[in-house]
Structure 1
Amino acid sequence: MQVPFNMKRLIDTEIRFPQRFTTMVTKNWGFIFWNEGNKASHDSNHAVITDTIGVESSVRELEFFYKSKGISPRVYSALKANELERIRPALDGHGFTIDIMNDEYFVHDHESVLHPVEELHIDRVKKLDIDMMETIAVEFGGDWTIKVVEKHLQHPSYHLLGGFVDGELASLASVSVFAGYSRVDDVFTRNMFRGKGFAGAMIHHLINYHRGISDNYLYLYSNNPAAIKIYEKAGFSRVPQDFKTWIAYKE
């Protein structure tokens, strides 16, 4: 039996999800995620400040930590109302650049009106072959993504789905199953295969696939209007949120 939806639990899942592929250190002010084997990955190397009391010392500590590892300091939103107003002075004082992301969160709560595409054959991918590695590196712009996916694949609750056309990788999507909530990620269609309905077919398939493995709430986020239209057709609805999403970084 599914328990009532709880935004706080979704946020907690979202904040902690990188521990699947990186090291998470809990501090009295929040979390530090780091992976010296994949320094170029932002999701693998960032801090989240959940307690803004004494934020100046928190920023100083996380900056020192990442610089000592040879990693550019980076801070992600804790998905709390008005947090940036409290944190910004310390970030500005330490020379961080702040980007507002405007991400919106969605939960699947009604039936999809999308349909499969016969041309697209979708399977679960349990290991990346050379062709898939090359495709992922080109589409995402670096080997760091391959390292994240390979680390993910070691966890049984990570399900990577590949869409193939005549044996060639056309699209990807993944779902990570946590306690009560499952996170959709890694959604993309290669440029040469766009405009054929493959993105919608993949999301439609992922929803049905997820039903077969879990009764969790299925969620995702996006700030891409074209992608959001597909997600809404797939049965995802916006979740009311009182926070802004942002990242801060210092090169």
Structure 2
Amino acid sequence: MTFFTQSIVSRIAQSHIHYPKRIAECVKLPYGLLYHDRENPGSHMCNHAVITDMSGDLDLKVRQVTEFYVEKGLTPVIYTAFQRKAYRIMSQPLRNNGYSVGKYPEGAFFYYPQGQTGSLPNYSNRVKRVQTEEGILDMFSDDEEGVYNRTVIRKLLPGEGYYLWCVYEKDKPVAVASLVMMSEYRTSVIDNVYTVPEYRNKGYATAIVRHALRMHQACSDNLVFLYAYKEQPIRIYRKLGFVKVNNMRLEYWNAWMDI
């Protein structure tokens, strides 16, 4: 099955599919990718499969994926590969093997049009580059989003191509956001956008994302994108100039097994 051409949509989809390689182990199979991380068993981003080849015996492929995760004591989860008609093709084999399958149409990818950054304001003096995780990890909650953010920061902050910024109030970190550069797809991902609840609606996250876009303009011509599903952040990203990727071009779904 043909996947994508080298369009904006393709680069975003491929980047999202392969992003977990940066934070989890990856087993490559002829028909897909199996991400796993026993240190973070509750994180679906670190523990999920992507079936990219939907030809042949799909029931067998689903059983093999299931066995892989069950043997490791992990919940089997399968993410979309964003291929057209994949939901129609995959949903029955998944249900045959005990999976629940659901679409999530409320979420979407947004990209920042190249050449638009000239209208951005100057760097914000309040936004500081984070060089060490000390004092940062404790700001996150203990829910799945918080676990994910801590995992990404721990694993990516020491390396290259990962930039993390923070706004502080009286030396206390109150808002963060990151930018991950993925040169293999000529993309850069805005990620880890988070504000401590009592400091929300003050424009801190917006200031950090603006700062990230300005910095990115100075050093790269990669396509900048992000994924968002909550109404308020989506309004902010649109105000900053991000453009929604047409959902008709991508299929958003996932499948999970309760064990």
Same fold (TM over 0.5): yes
**Residue of structure 1 aligned with 2:132, choices 127, 130, 133:** 127
Kindly provide the CA deviation profile for residues 193-220 of structure 1, in whole angstroms up to 9, marking residues without a partner as x.
1121222212111111222332111011
Aligned to 2:150: 146
TM-score of the superposed pair, with normalisation by structure 2: 0.87
Moved more, 225-234 or 60-69: 225-234
Aligned to 1:198: 204
Moved more, 102-111 or 85-94: 102-111
Aligned to 2:161: 157
Contact 2:84-2:250 within 8 A present in 1 as well:
yes
* 1:93 to partner: Cα distance: 1.3
Aligned to 2:215: 209
Q: Percent identity?
A: 26
Distance 2:119 2:254 in 1: 34
Distance 1:112 1:238 in 2: 20
Q: Counterpart amino acid of 1:222?
A: A
Aligned to 1:93: 96
Aligned to 1:81: 84
Contact 1:115-1:200 within 8 A present in 2 as well:
no
**Residue of structure 2 aligned with 1:234, choices 228, 232, 240:** 240
Distance 1:52 1:19 in 2: 22
Kindly provide the CA deviation profile for residues 84-117 of structure 1, in whole angstroms up to 9, marking residues without a partner as x.
1110001111221223222211110134877689
Distance 1:143 1:177 in 2: 22
Distance 1:85 1:186 in 2: 32
Aligned to 1:20: 22
Q: Aligned-residue CA RMSD in angstroms?
A: 2.2
Q: Counterpart amino acid of 2:229?
A: N
Distance 1:66 1:230 in 2: 38
Kindly provide the CA deviation profile for residues 142-192 of structure 1, in whole angstroms up to 9, marking residues without a partner as x.
556423320122321111111212211111111110121111111111111
Distance 1:142 1:123 in 2: 21
* 1:74 to partner: Cα distance: 0.5
1:38–1:20 distance in 2 versus 1, CA, 3 Å: same
Q: What is the total number of aligned residue pairs between the two structures?
A: 246
Aligned to 2:64: 61
Helix, strand or coil: the match of 1:37?
Answer: coil
Distance 2:148 2:11 in 1: 29
Q: Counterpart amino acid of 1:67?
A: V
Q: Counterpart amino acid of 1:59?
A: V
**Runs of 5+ in structure 2 lacking a partner?**
1-5
Kindly provide the CA deviation profile for residues 25-62 of structure 1, in whole angstroms up to 9, marking residues without a partner as x.
11111111111222121111100011112221111011
Is structure 2 residue 185 aligned with structure 1 residue 178? no
Aligned to 1:105: 109
1:117–1:20 distance in 2 versus 1, CA, 3 Å: closer
TM-score of the superposed pair, with normalisation by structure 1: 0.89
Q: Counterpart amino acid of 1:6?
A: I
Distance 1:182 1:144 in 2: 18
1:114–1:164 distance in 2 versus 1, CA, 3 Å: farther
Aligned to 2:3: none
Aligned to 2:255: 248
1:236–1:141 distance in 2 versus 1, CA, 3 Å: closer
Helix, strand or coil: the match of 1:107?
Answer: strand
Distance 1:243 1:7 in 2: 8
Moved more, 223-232 or 66-75: 223-232
Q: Counterpart amino acid of 1:55?
A: L
Contact 2:109-2:245 within 8 A present in 1 as well:
yes
Distance 1:112 1:190 in 2: 30
Distance 1:79 1:235 in 2: 24
